[in-house]
Copies of this chain bind each other. A is one copy, B any other.
Amino acid sequence: MTDLQSYLAQRVQYVDRALDSFLPSAGTKPVTIHKAMRHSIFAGGKRLRPILCLAAAEACGGSDADALSAACGVECLHTYSLIHDDLPCMDDDDMRRGVPTCHKVYGEAMALLAGDALQALAFELVAKSRAGHRYSIGDMILELACTAGSLHLVGGQVADLEGEGKNLQLDDLRFIHENKTAAMLTTSVKLGGMCADALPEELAALEKFGMTTGLAFQIIDDILDVTQTTEKLGKSAGKDIASEKSTYPALLGLDASCEKAHQLTEQAHRALDVFGPRGQQLRQLADYLLAREY
Q: Mark A98-137, 1 if CB is under 8 A from B, else 0.
A: 0000000001111011111101110110111001000011
Contact-size category for A:
35 or more
Nearest CB in chain B: distance from A104 CB, A = 13
Indicate if the CB atoms of A151 and B24 lie closer than 8 Å. Answer: yes
Q: Say which residue of B33, B89, B154 sits within 8 Å of A154 (CB atoms).
A: B33
Q: Mark A151-169, 1 if CB is under 8 A from B, else 0.
A: 1011101110110000000
**A87 lies within 8 A of chain B by Cβ:** yes
**A37 lies within 8 A of chain B by Cβ:** yes
Residues of chain B within 8 A (CB-CB) of A116 are 80-81, 84, 115-116, 119, 148, 154
Residues of chain B within 8 A (CB-CB) of A253 are none
Nearest CB in chain B: distance from A19 CB, A = 14
Q: Say which residue of B32, B81, B142, B158 sits within 8 Å of A33 (CB atoms).
A: B158
Which residues of A pack against B, CB within 8 Å?
Answer: 24, 28-30, 32-34, 37, 80-81, 84, 87, 89-90, 107-110, 112-117, 119-121, 123-124, 126-128, 131, 136-138, 141-142, 144-146, 148-151, 153-155, 157-159, 161-162, 175
